[in-house]
Structure 1
Amino acid sequence: MSEVAKKFAELIYNSNSIAVLSGAGMSTNAGIPDFRGPNGIYTKANIENPERIFDLDYFYLDPSLFYKFHKKFLEYITKAEPTFTHKFLVQLEKEGKLKGIVTQNIDSLHQKAGSKKVYEIHGGCWKNYCTKCNREYSQEEILEKVNNETVPRCDNCGGIIKPDIVFFGEPVKYLTESEVLMKNSELVLVLGSSLAVIPAAMLPSLTKGKIIVVNKGEISEMYLPPQKVALIVNEELDTFFMQVAKEYETLKEG
């Protein structure tokens, strides 16, 4: 794996316009379980109909199912801290190499780590609003409400409060900005994503340069142009990036 890490580091070192697409693998390293696995949040929250959790019509019919999941999810993301990989991306941004991150995650850990240009295409948990009067609620307010109410209701009008998360049937956010970022990049890092969900899976192919995928587990290669793929690494992110960081520092030292 050291040779792969060395090649990865060389590609980063020689690139001045890097874009990132991050997925759930970034979050599981931070102690946030995946949704569906045997130890996933659906299991831990005892959710019987997980396919309905992010169904917008069902949310308005019975929001208690979503909030049963969301209360458990917020417990994890409140405690979660950015990983080594999150912090390495911050370093690349400070050096002027990383131009932006497109993330499928809704935990805002990239921002917590210090990343400045982050496009949360599936939305984020820390913006919440009333579905009737549009009043916004802060992170502290929503945590208090989720702990005290089965379904958080607006203090103004009694409407249901909804986090700014993209549900099924809603358009993704920042798609145009994400496309521009990818088109202007000379290297795209796909980190912790299986590339199974569109339109996110289609974004890396827009680069004029090369694509590197690092993901523990299978990936879909449907939207990966073979001529653009430099590396596919089936490794746990932090373990791999610790090696990459060492190789990268060696290159910088000359």
Structure 2
Amino acid sequence: MENNIEKLKKLIDSHNNIVFFGGAGVSTESNIPDFRSSTGLFNKKLNRKFTPEQLVSHTFFVRYPQEFFKFYKNNLIYENAKPNDAHKALASLEKIGKLSAVITQNIDGLHQASGSVNVLELHGSVYRNYCTNCNKFFDMQDMLNLEGDIPYCDYCNSIIKPDVVLYEEPLNNAVVNQTVDALSKADLLIIGGTSLVVYPAASFIDYFNGDSIVLINKSNTGYDNKASLIINDSIGKVLSQAVLE
């Protein structure tokens, strides 16, 4: 019987407008942990128990900016992370004209670091930061280099916010429109490194109108019944074998 890697290779060979939709599992192979693994921070200091989702919520950013930035810098920024085989394989597919877009829920910029150009960042990026008052731009290093626990704008002294979508905040409309457009035009959708439980991001795959969906994830998802091919394995290993070897 034909193995799953060969099936994936044939699907890639027979399609020319592929879209990849990825989540945290793509970056964990670059040693970036899912932030949900962190819990119980600041319980003693603030005399409250916060879930990881609450720690990256708009409310927490506004009410407890010092604790927000401590968690953010320690758990969501990984300056030394490098692209892994999954990122490299996707960049290779884009370079040969097979892959039209990468849609990612990650904020680490590793797809761009690997050479991918058309990357749609549903949840923003740690590399972009803006003053909440005057909108002055700060790249990640500029923001980290500012003195104090809370980054304040050196022009108007207002707080700087990372350009990441926090819980309770809407997604960027332009990115959403580009995502819907890319998915609606794709002929093959490869979903990897995500359990498809984060909404509204996961709901966008319903806009896909092509003929085949490939699901690559270490565990099962609620969308397995819609897939033409399911591979429960490492996303980097699978894409590397299917594309780079």
TM-score by length of 1: 0.86
Which whole-Å deviations, capped at 9, do the CAs of 1:135-176 have from their partners, x for residues lacking one?
A: 11122211212xx42111111222111100011222112111
8 Å contact kept, 1:17–1:98: yes
Following superposition of structure 1 onto structure 2, how do residues 81-160 of structure 1 map, counting pairs within 5 Å? Answer: 81-145=82-146, 148-160=147-159
Q: CA deviation at 1:47?
A: 5.0
Structure 1 unaligned regions, length at least 5 = 250-254
Q: CA deviation at 1:74?
A: 5.2
Aligned to 1:56: 58
Q: What code does the residue aligned with 1:95 have?
A: I
Q: What code does the residue aligned with 2:79 have?
A: T
Q: What code does the residue aligned with 1:239 have?
A: K
Change in 2 beyond 3 A, CA 1:187/1:47: farther
Q: CA deviation at 1:46?
A: 4.0
Following superposition of structure 1 onto structure 2, how do residues 20-99 of structure 1 map, counting pairs within 5 Å? Answer: 20-37=20-37, 42=38, 46=41, 48=43, 49=50, 50-73=52-75, 75=77, 77-99=78-100
In percent, how many aligned pairs have the same letter?
A: 37
Alpha-carbon separation, structure 1, partners of 2:19 and 2:222:
19
Q: What code does the residue aligned with 1:71 have?
A: K
8 Å contact kept, 1:204–1:211: no
Alpha-carbon separation, structure 1, partners of 2:178 and 2:239:
27
Change in 2 beyond 3 A, CA 1:36/1:161: same
Aligned to 1:236: 234
Which whole-Å deviations, capped at 9, do the CAs of 1:11-47 have from their partners, x for residues lacking one?
A: 001100000111000110011011123xxxx25x945
1:168 aligns with 2:170: no
Aligned to 1:11: 11
8 Å contact kept, 1:106–1:124: yes
Which whole-Å deviations, capped at 9, do the CAs of 1:35-94 have from their partners, x for residues lacking one?
A: 123xxxx25x9454233222212211211121111111355x210000111011111101
8 Å contact kept, 1:2–1:243: no
8 Å contact kept, 1:123–1:164: yes
Q: Provide the alpha-carbon RMSD of the alignment.
A: 1.9
8 Å contact kept, 2:56–2:72: no
Q: What code does the residue aligned with 1:93 have?
A: E
Q: What code does the residue aligned with 2:116 have?
A: S
Change in 2 beyond 3 A, CA 1:2/1:110: farther
Determine helix, strand or coil for the equivalent of 1:134.
coil
Q: What code does the residue aligned with 2:16 have?
A: N
Q: What code does the residue aligned with 1:3 have?
A: N
Structure 2 unaligned regions, length at least 5 = 44-49
8 Å contact kept, 1:56–1:168: yes
Determine helix, strand or coil for the equivalent of 1:190.
strand
Q: CA deviation at 1:2?
A: 7.4
8 Å contact kept, 1:106–1:125: yes
Q: What code does the residue aligned with 1:163 have?
A: P
Q: CA deviation at 1:115?
A: 0.4
TM-score by length of 2: 0.89
